[in-house]
């Protein structure tokens, strides 16, 4: 599956923010753009677009500041990792149970 990239202008139009907001998020190390060989401008990968969406929602809807957004994003990523680890444990348990019953 091909990775989709978004230009800054696309992000601004998609979320109705300005480029200074993106600059601030990058300065605070909350998002990261990448430089592609074939493109003269920096772009955002899909996972970063999702982070921008979450940050925007937190700030706009819940009045969370940037520091709070950083904490929430870290907790969210930890929860996702824990869920993946739990899923792996369940798959191992299922394989063990199937092999024991055979």
Whole-number pLDDT of residue 38: 76
- What are the tens digits of pLDDT across the range 18-51? 999 999 999 999 999 999 887 788 899 999 999 9
Domain hosting 94: range is 5-101
Q: How many domains does the chain have?
A: 1
Give yes or no for residue 100 having a pLDDT over 90. no
pLDDT tens string 83-97: 999 999 999 999 999
Q: What pTM, to 2 d.p., does this model score?
A: 0.83
Question: Residue ranges of the alpha helices (H) in 1-102?
Answer: 8-15, 19-27, 46-62, 66-101
End-to-end C-alpha distance for the chain, whole angstroms: 37
Q: DSSP class of residue 30? A: S
Give 63's DSSP letter. -
- What pLDDT is stored for residue 1 in this prediction? 65
* pLDDT classification of 101: cutoffs 50, 70, 90: confident
The model's pLDDT over 63-89, given as tens digits with 9 standing for 90+, comes to 999 999 999 999 999 999 999 999 999
Distance CA 28, CA 12 (A): 18
CATH code of the domain covering residue 46: 1.10.1660.10
């Amino acid at each position: 599956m091909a990775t989709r990239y978004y230009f800054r202008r696309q992000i601004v139009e998609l979320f109705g923010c300005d480029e200074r907001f993106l600059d601030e998020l990058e300065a605070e190390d909350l998002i990261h753009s990448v430089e592609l060989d074939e493109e003269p401008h920096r772009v955002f990968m899909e996972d970063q677009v999702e982070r921008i969406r979450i940050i925007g929602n937190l700030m706009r809807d819940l009045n969370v500041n940037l520091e709070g957004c950083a904490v929430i994003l870290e907790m969210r990523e930890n929860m996702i990792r824990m869920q993946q680890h739990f899923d792996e444990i369940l798959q191992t348990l299922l394989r063990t149970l199937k092999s024991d019953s055979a």
